[in-house]
Amino acid sequence: MTISTVTATLSTTASTGSAPRLLDTRTTAATLAVDDATDATFRRAQQRSERIEAELHVDPTAYRVVTGDRPTGDLHLGHYIGTLANRVRLQNAGVPVTVVIADYQVITDRERPGPLRERVRALVADYLAAGLDPQRTAIFPHSAVPALNQLLLPFLSLVSVAELHRNPTVKAESLASRRTLGALLLTYPVHQAADILCCQGTLVPVGKDQLPHIELARVIARRFNDRYGTVFGEPEALLSSAPVVLGVDGAKMSKTRGNTIPLGADEDQTTAAIRAARTDGLRRITFDPVSRPSVANLLTIVGALSGREPARIADDIGDGGASALKALAAEVINESLRGLRARRRELLADPGYLDDVLLDGTARASAAAGETLERVRAAMGMNYFGE
Ligand code: ATP
Ligand code: MG
């Protein structure tokens, strides 16, 4: 099934591997259908994403983007296609962008935080290498912004425990962690609402797995406004043309599953991983996300990176089979990421600069979150020391 979306297509300058740019064309982007592709929420989010893209075309400042990642390991192709390239594209189109490194959320589903310092630096290097510009885009770890974390308290009063238990992503992550559901994992979406709303975020470029969290952030904003007077806009999710990129084992590409193509992998590692990726035995390549998800996934990746229709790519390969598809995918991925990888290496060699970027982003985010917290306190009647 092909879901038609009017999405600005991610394209890279293949020869230089430079940062993605916005193709000013309306493209019918093929979207991976996953098990619950008929899911109404998902379809609504896709339709809404199309409308938002059109609005941003007219006025790039109509939304304020806030988004982020957990520093749980190296960023991968799923991040790049699912959200990172969208962040860069929006930033370059003039949309205000803030990126949160969600370090407290690392310990939602594991006991130890791991080598956070290195991972946070690597994240910053990946962001900058992908094209985020620290002059325009603030990047900060949420542990360093007390006002953001303080928002959690009033927000927790706006949701019920039953609502939190119903969140499908929390359920899935709890199951995957094979641990008792901790209170921090249960309240993860509320903390994420604080991430978004502390910086007055109204648009969140995410993968499909994040939709329930964004929905809860909307509920929290709405309930706060209803109860205390309007302080927040209701944030919206922005899906890319590949809302779920699958890993080499056919499941969602995810750091913790170990099924990724890391952005920092070298070309040989990438080619080897793609060669080992799951496909099916059918000789003729067709784009059929429902019955051939792994083949469709490779076609979608190639399509997203080259700005082409996955179905057309399949037609071109025809009877070339999985080996021709994999050879093409490895070539396109390596070419598209070549520039990013070179910049990433340079940036990692200069940790002092990466730390400065983080410090500057933290100062800007702290100012924004401080202002929001003041407004929240004032709305709640807690502004004891003001005028
Ligand atoms: P972890 O396994 O630690 O949860 P992850 O690989 O799932 O890591 P996150 O840090 O949870 O990555 O996700 C960061 C952002 O990237 C989110 O917006 C998420 O929706 C998006 N994302 C992650 N994996 C994919 C994927 N495979 N396809 C599309 N988007 C993705
Ligand atoms: Mg995740």
The answer, yes or no, to whether any atom of ligand 1 lies below 6 A from the CB of 205, is no
Note the pLDDT of residue 31: 42
> Does the Cβ of 207 fall within 6 Å of ligand 1?
yes
Q: Which ligand is nearest to the CA of 75?
A: 1
Determine, yes or no, domain membership for 121.
yes
CATH number at residue 217: 3.40.50.620
3-state secondary structure at position 156: helix
Residue 11 lies in a domain: no
User: pLDDT digit string (tens) for 297-321?
Assistant: 999 999 999 999 999 999 999 999 9
Q: pLDDT at position 387, please?
A: 64
pLDDT at position 240 = 85
**151: Cβ below 6 Å to ligand 1?**
no
Ligand 1 centroid–CA 18 distance in Å is: 23
Give the pLDDT of residue 266. Answer: 97
Closest by CA position to 206, among listed 181, 242, 246, 252: 242
Tokens encoding 191: 């903390």
In a domain, 117, yes or no: yes
Please tell me the total count of domains within the chain. 1
Given the CA of residue 81, which atom of ligand 1 is nearest to it?
A: 29
Look at residue 31 and tell me if it is in a domain: no
SS3 string, 302-331, reads HHHHHCCCHHHHHHHHHHHHHHHHHHHHHH
The pTM assigned to this predicted structure is 0.88
CA of 103 to the centre of ligand 2 (A): 13
Tell me if 326 CB under 6 Å of ligand 1: no
How far does the centroid of ligand 2 lie from the alpha carbon of residue 324, in Å? 31
Is 143 within a domain? yes
Residue 163 located in a structural domain: yes
pLDDT of residue 385: 86
Cβ 253 under 6 angstroms from ligand 1: yes
> 66 has which bridge partners?
98
Measure the CA–CA gap between 382 and 387, rounded to whole angstroms.
Answer: 12
Which ligand gives the minimal distance to the CA of 86?
1
Atom of ligand 1 nearest to the CA of 73: 3
Tokens 């396109």 correspond to what residue? 332
Neighbours of 356 (CB within 10 A): 13
Residues of the domain holding 144: 44-242+355-380
Q: Are 334 and 266 in contact (CB under 8 A)?
A: no
Sign of CA dihedral 171, 176, 181, 186: negative
Q: Which ligand is nearest to the CA of 195?
A: 1
Would residue 147 count as lying in a domain? yes
Q: What is the pLDDT of residue 329?
A: 98
Asked if 63 and 202 count as a contact pair (C-beta separation under 8 A), the reply is yes
Reduced to 3 states (helix: H, G, I; strand: E, B; else coil), residue 65 is strand
Write out the chain's pLDDT in tens, 387 residues: 232 332 333 433 333 333 333 322 223 333 444 444 347 888 999 999 999 999 999 999 999 999 999 999 999 999 999 889 999 999 999 999 999 999 999 999 998 999 999 999 999 999 999 999 999 999 999 999 999 999 999 999 999 999 999 999 899 889 888 889 999 999 999 999 999 999 999 999 988 888 999 999 999 999 999 999 999 999 999 998 888 999 999 999 998 788 999 999 999 999 999 999 999 989 999 999 999 999 999 999 999 999 999 999 999 999 999 999 999 999 999 999 999 999 999 999 999 999 999 999 999 999 999 999 999 999 999 999 866
pLDDT tens-digit series, residues 1-44: 232 332 333 433 333 333 333 322 223 333 444 444 347 888 99
Judge whether 103 lies within some domain.
Answer: yes
